[in-house]
C-alpha cells in the first residue's frame, strides 16, 4: 500500500494489507484489461489474464519489510503528490523531475515518481514486444512480455486510485489544522475485494485504444484521477466505504474501469509501437 502505511505496526496488519485491493484489486483490473484486447495482439497474451493478474501484484511484493534496499527504491513509484509540482510542467524523465523537485524544496522520494514508473514500464514492454515479433515462439520472450505487462498494470491501477495523486493520501487537515479521516486510504484499497467487484464487471464493454501521445495520456489520466479526491472524502465522511452504498460501489467500480481502460490502452499501444522499433543495439 501507499508508503506501506508507515510499516503497518504489526504482522497481522502486514498480512491483511497484502490481500486488499493492492493484490486482489490489482489482479481484477489486470484480468479485466486482458479481456478487452484486439485480436491482432498475440493469442497467448490475450488469454493470459490469470498470469498477468499475478504479476500485477509484484510491485507491492517488492515492498517486503525485509527487502530494505528494494523497498526504498520502489515505494516512490506508486504515487505522485501532484501539489508538490506547484503547477510546473512535469519533466519528461525522473532525473529531471528529481532536480525540479529539489529546486522547489520537495524531496523526490516523498513527492513520488508514479508517471515515470508508468512510462518506463511501458517502454520495457515495447522492447519485449519487439523481441517477440522477431521470435514469436520463444518461451522466454513470451514470459518476459507477461511479466513486464503485469508490472505496468500495477501502476496503471495505482494511477486510477485518486488518493495516489495527492499529499492528502490518508487523511486531510480540517480548519483547525487537525488531520481527520485517517484510514481512508486503506478503506478504498480494500473496497474492490471486500465488495466483490469482479474482472467481468470491470471489463464490461471496454475495448483497447491506440494512444498517439503516451506521455500526455499518462499525465492526463493522473490529473483526471486527482479531480476525484474530494469525492473520496465525501463518501468516506458519509460512511459509504465502511458500509457500502450503491453510490460508493459505483464510484469504486468506475475507478477500477478507468484503471482497466488505461492498462489495455498502454498494452495495445506498446504492441503497435514495437513493430517500428529499431534494433536494440
78/116 Cα distance (integer angstroms)? 10
Q: Strand, helix or coil at 172?
A: strand
Q: Strand, helix or coil at 227?
A: coil
pTM for the whole thing?
0.92
219/214 Cα distance (integer angstroms)? 9
Q: Which of 210, 212, 246, 25 has its CA nearest to residue 238? A: 246
Q: Strand, helix or coil at 179?
A: strand
Residue ranges of domains in the chain, CATH in brackets: 2-274 (1.10.575)
- From first to last of its 281 residues, the chain has per-residue pLDDT tens of 444 344 333 333 333 333 334 688 999 999 999 999 999 999 999 999 999 999 999 999 999 999 999 999 999 999 999 999 999 999 999 999 999 999 999 999 999 999 999 999 999 999 999 999 999 999 999 999 999 999 999 999 999 999 999 999 999 999 999 999 999 999 999 999 999 999 999 999 999 999 999 999 999 999 999 999 999 999 999 999 999 999 999 999 999 999 999 999 999 999 999 999 999 99
Contacts of 150 (CB under 8 A, 6+ apart): 30, 51, 52, 53, 54, 55, 56, 58
For the chain, state the CA radius of gyration: 18
Place of cell 501521445: 213
Q: How much of the chain is helix, strand and coil, in % rounded to 5?
A: 65, 0, 30
Q: What is the DSSP letter of 204?
A: T
Answer whether 276's CB lies under 8 Å from 180's CB: no
Task: Let me know the angle formed at the C-alpha of 171 by 160 and 110, rounded to the nearest 5 degrees.
Answer: 70
**Distance spanning both ends of the chain, measured CA to CA:** 37
203/15 Cα distance (integer angstroms)? 28
Q: Count of H helices and E strands in the chain? A: 15, 2
Answer whether 209's CB lies under 8 Å from 36's CB: no
Answer whether 61's CB lies under 8 Å from 75's CB: no
Amino acid at each position: 500500500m501507499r508508503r506501506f502505511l508507515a510499516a503497518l505496526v504489526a504482522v497481522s496488519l502486514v498480512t491483511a494489507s497484502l490481500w486488499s485491493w493492492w493484490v486482489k484489486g490489482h489482479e481484477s483490473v489486470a484480468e479485466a484489461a486482458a479481456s478487452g484486447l484486439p485480436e491482432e495482439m498475440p493469442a497467448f497474451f490475450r488469454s493470459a489474464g490469470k498470469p498477468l493478474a499475478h504479476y500485477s501484484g509484484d510491485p507491492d511484493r517488492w515492498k517486503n519489510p525485509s527487502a530494505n534496499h528494494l523497498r526504498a527504491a520502489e515505494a516512490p513509484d506508486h504515487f505522485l503528490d501532484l501539489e508538490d509540482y506547484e503547477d510546473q510542467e512535469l519533466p519528461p524523465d525522473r532525473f529531471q523531475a528529481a532536480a525540479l523537485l529539489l529546486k522547489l524544496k520537495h524531496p523526490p522520494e516523498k513527492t513520488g515518481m508514479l508517471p515515470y514508473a508508468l512510462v518506463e514500464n511501458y517502454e520495457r514492454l515495447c522492447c519485449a514486444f519487439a523481441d517477440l515479433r522477431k521470435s514469436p515462439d520463444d518461451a522466454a520472450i513470451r514470459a518476459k512480455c507477461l511479466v513486464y505487462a503485469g508490472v505496468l498494470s500495477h501502476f496503471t491501477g495505482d494511477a486510477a486510485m485518486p488518493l495516489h495523486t495527492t499529499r492528502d493520501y490518508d487523511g486531510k487537515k480540517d480548519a483547525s489544522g487537525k488531520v481527520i479521516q485517517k484510514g481512508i486510504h486503506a478503506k478504498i484499497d480494500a473496497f474492490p475485494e471486500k465488495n466483490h467487484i469482479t474482472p467481468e464487471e470491470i471489463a464490461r464493454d471496454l475495448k483497447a485504444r491506440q494512444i498517439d501521445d503516451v506521455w500526455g495520456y499518462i499525465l492526463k489520466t493522473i490529473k483526471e484521477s486527482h479531480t476525484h479526491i474530494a469525492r473520496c472524502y465525501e463518501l468516506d465522511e458519509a460512511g459509504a466505504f465502511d458500509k457500502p452504498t450503491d453510490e460508493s460501489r459505483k464510484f469504486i467500480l468506475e475507478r477500477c474501469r478507468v484503471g482497466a481502460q488505461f492498462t489495455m490502452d498502454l498494452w495495445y499501444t506498446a504492441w503497435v509501437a514495437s513493430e517500428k522499433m529499431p534494433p536494440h543495439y
